[in-house]
């Protein structure tokens, strides 16, 4: 199955919610866990138990695992494997982007069968030029995986790059949307090149109607975006949007049943 087929099947079964696994130091403290690899592992595997098989997509934030060194990366590998075994799609939030052989190496790590870091999709940064992502785009398609490319992010600094207008009259963000749309053209039910568009940005200023791909919308819940905001922001394209909630769900840990209840409440609100 293509990534688009697997994603569509998952959303039909569980709804569009994507839940993040963000082992932030503050959350480890709130859960009464030590600030070390053992605490990270306890946190992450509790999330796996709560979310596996219950949501369409789970998004572990790679940076919090990398911060614990090799033991932390080993925990991330276990999280990816156990979630995939549960039938849950895994989006590794690594935001990789580089050129040439380095990008090819990232593609091998995150988009290739046999790599312990390869989930079902990965986030990528296109700001060395969209074409620099080709090794990852090609590897993902060849292995039935997806990618989510940063387009419009919610951080204030992002606008100075993403909303800049180029010589052709398009914003940088719109050019990224258009490149993604070209890659997704003609693919059914939906393409494998998604975008990241912050749920709290207010107004996108881009045309998503030809994207034919999924949109990851971080910022739902604790960061302030509501279901009504999503409808206003994305309009008819809402059917392809994966609202992402992390802290709003994770604050209910470490009790597994409380985490499950929190997920169900968010799913119902969507």
Identify the pLDDT of residue 8: 98
What is the CATH number for 59?
3.20.20.70
Provide the pLDDT confidence category of residue 69 given band limits of 50, 70 and 90. Answer: very high
What's the mean pLDDT when you consider all of the chain? Answer: 96
Per-residue pLDDT of 218-239, as tens digits, reads 988 766 788 888 988 898 899 9
Mean pLDDT of 109-132: 98
Q: Check 59, 95, 231, 251 and give the catalytic one.
A: 95
Identify the pLDDT of residue 227: 85
Mean pLDDT of 180-193: 98
**Where is pLDDT greater, at 41 or 200?**
41
Identify the pLDDT of residue 228: 86
Mean pLDDT of 70-95: 98
Identify the pLDDT of residue 162: 94
Provide the pLDDT confidence category of residue 121 given band limits of 50, 70 and 90. Answer: very high
Provide the pLDDT confidence category of residue 203 given band limits of 50, 70 and 90. Answer: confident
Query: Residue 204 pLDDT more than 90?
Result: no
What percent of the chain clears pLDDT 70, i.e. is strictly above it? 99
* Domain hosting residue 207, numbered range: 3-269
Q: 3-state SS of the chain?
A: CCHHHHHHHHHHHHCCCEEEECCCHHHHHHCCCCCCHHHHHHHHHHHHHHHCCCCCEEEEEHHHHHCCHHHHHHHHHHHHHHHHHCCCEEEEEEEECCCHHHHHHHHHHHCCCCCCCCCCEEEECCCCCHHHHHHHHHHHHHCCCEEEEEEECCCHHHHHHHCCECCCCCEHHHHHHHHHHHHHCCCCCCCCEEEEECCCCCCCCCCCCCCCCCEEEECECCCCECHHHHHHHHHHHHHHEEEEECHHHHCCCCCHHHHHHHHHHHHHHC
Identify the pLDDT of residue 222: 66
Provide the pLDDT confidence category of residue 115 given band limits of 50, 70 and 90. Answer: very high
To the query of whether residue 95 is one of the catalytic residues in this protein, the response is: yes
What percent of the chain clears pLDDT 90, i.e. is strictly above it? 89
Identify the pLDDT of residue 173: 97
Per-residue pLDDT of 17-42, as tens digits, reads 999 999 999 999 999 999 999 999 99
The number of distinct structural domains making up the chain is 1
pTM given for the model: 0.97
């Amino acid at each position: 199955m293509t990534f688009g087929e697997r994603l569509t099947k998952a959303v039909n079964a569980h709804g569009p919610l994507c839940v993040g696994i963000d082992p932030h130091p503050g959350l480890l403290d709130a859960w009464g866990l030590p600030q070390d690899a053992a605490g990270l592992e306890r946190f992450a595997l509790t999330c796996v138990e709560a979310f596996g098989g219950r949501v369409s997509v789970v998004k572990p934030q790679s940076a919090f695992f990398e911060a614990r060194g090799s033991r932390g990366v080993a925990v991330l590998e276990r999280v990816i494997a156990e979630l995939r075994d549960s039938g849950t799609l895994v989006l590794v939030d690594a935001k990789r982007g580089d050129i040439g052989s380095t990008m090819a190496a990232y593609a091998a790590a995150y988009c290739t069968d046999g790599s312990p870091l390869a989930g079902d999709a990965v986030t990528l940064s296109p700001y060395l030029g969209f074409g620099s992502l080709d090794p990852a785009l090609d590897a993902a398609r060849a292995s039935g995986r997806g990618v989510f490319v940063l387009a419009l992010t919610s951080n204030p600094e992002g606008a100075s790059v993403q909303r800049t207008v180029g010589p052709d009259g398009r914003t940088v963000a719109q050019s990224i949307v258009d490149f993604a749309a070209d890659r997704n053209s003609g693919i059914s039910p939906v393409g494998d090149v998604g975008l990241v568009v912050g749920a709290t940005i207010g107004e996108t200023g881009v045309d998503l109607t030809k994207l034919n791909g999924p949109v990851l919308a971080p910022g739902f819940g604790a960061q302030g975006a509501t279901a009504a905001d999503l409808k206003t922001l994305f309009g008819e394209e809402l059917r392809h949007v994966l609202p992402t909630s992390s802290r709003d769900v994770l604050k209910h840990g470490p009790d597994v049943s409380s985490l499950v209840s929190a997920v169900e409440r968010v799913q119902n609100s969507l």
